[in-house]
Amino acid sequence: MQRIFFQKPTLWVAKNLLGRTLIRRWRGREIRASICETEAYVGENDLACHASKGRTKRSEVLFAKAGTAYVYLIYGMHYCFNVVTEKSDFPAAVLIRAVSIDGKNFSGPGRVCKALHIDKRFHGQNLIKNKELRFERRLGGRLKFSQIKSGPRIGVEYAGAWAKKPWRFWTIGERSVK
């Protein structure tokens, strides 16, 4: 996929990633994961976004070029995989929350990373031309708008009004709620 895709508005990217395939080359195999749930984190004003505290060592990568991987560890044991969006120096990203592999559902950022063997080695890597981890161009037509649902993001209650924004997107039939 081209960088220009990720340079578009984050909410657009989050929606348009649904139904696309993420391909992970691992030990000579190709793991094909269809994306079924995403979340958008947009800018320093978004209190749920890690960049809301400014440009720090942790959030630095969010300011990088669109198409860069943002991977971090949470709760001491789970990795979360994001793709940086929009223009450089504007901190925004899309979190991959759930994928489907061989018909099996992996819901939750931690499980997605486990299934795809993603860890902090990918942090800061450019995914536009990456052999180990890349997005496939869509094969069929684009997902119908009616197949996409949205709702508030998960686990960000502390973000006040920002927590209520319907910036989580999932495909119908794949909802993975807690």
Residue numbers of the site for DNA (CB under 7 A)?
A: 39, 41, 48-50, 53, 56-59, 62, 70, 72-78, 80, 82, 93, 95, 107-112, 153-156, 158, 178
CB of 108 to DNA, least distance (A): 2
Measured between alpha carbons, how far is 177 from 8 in angstroms, rounded to an integer?
27
Q: How far is the CB of 113 from DNA (least distance, A)?
A: 8
CB of 147 to DNA, least distance (A): 23
Pick from 132, 45, 124: nearest CA to 84: 124
- Dihedral sign, CA of 6, 12, 13, 18? negative
Q: Which long-range contacts (CB under 8 A, 24 or more apart) does 138-142 make?
A: 138/19, 138/20, 139/21, 142/16, 142/19
In the bound state with DNA, the residue whose beta carbon lies nearer, of 16 and 59, is: 59
For DNA, which is the closer residue by CB, 129 or 178? 178
Q: Of 52 and 145, which CB lies nearer to DNA in the complex structure?
A: 52
Between 144 and 155, name the residue whose CB sits nearer to DNA.
Answer: 155
Smallest separation, CB 135 to DNA (Å): 17
Give the burial class of 32: count Cβ atoms within 10 A of its Cβ; 0-12 exposed, 13-18 middle, 19 or more buried: middle
Identity at 152, one-letter amino acid code: P
